[in-house]
A = this chain, B = another copy of it.
Amino acid sequence: MNSFWNPEDIVSRVLAPGVTAKIASGEKMMLSLVTLAPNAVVPTHSHPHEQMGLMVSGTMEFTIDREKRVLSGNEMYFVPGGVPHSAKGGPGGAVALDTFTPPREEYR
C-alpha cells in the first residue's frame, strides 16, 4: 500500500461529464481529489459512506439534503452516511478534496 501519491501519477476517473477524480486509498478511508469543469454537475446521490470535504480552489455549489451553499476558499463540509447531496462547479470550475470512510469499493 502506498504512503505517498503525486496526483500527476494517478489516472483520472470520470465521475460525471466534466467531473474527474484522482483517488488514493488507505485502509479505513479514501481521498478523492475532484476537478469540476465550469458548471459541471454531480447529480444528487447518496451512499452509506460518511463523507467530508475541503475546497481546494475555485467555487462550487454544494447541496446537502436541502441546504445549498456556494463554497470557496478552503471551506469544509460534512455529509453523513445516507444523506442525499449534489455539486455543481462554479463559473471558473473547482477543485475539491472528498474523503470517505470506509473507502468506496467501487473507486478502488
Interface positions of A (Cβ within 8 A of B): 1-8, 24, 26-31, 33, 50, 52, 54, 56, 62, 64-65, 67, 69, 71, 73-80, 95, 97, 99, 101
Contacts and interface: CB of A to CB of B under 8 A. Distances in A.
Nearest to A69: B4
Contacts of A1: 78, 80
B33 A54 contact: yes
6 contacts: A3-B77, A4-B75, A6-B75, A33-B54, A52-B99, A74-B95
Task: Classify the secondary structure of A's interface with B.
Answer: strand
Number of copies: 2
Give the 7 A-B residue pairs with the shortest CB-CB distance, closest first.
A26-B78, A5-B76, A28-B50, A101-B101, A24-B76, A99-B99, A3-B64
A1 to B, nearest CB: 7
Nearest to A9: B75
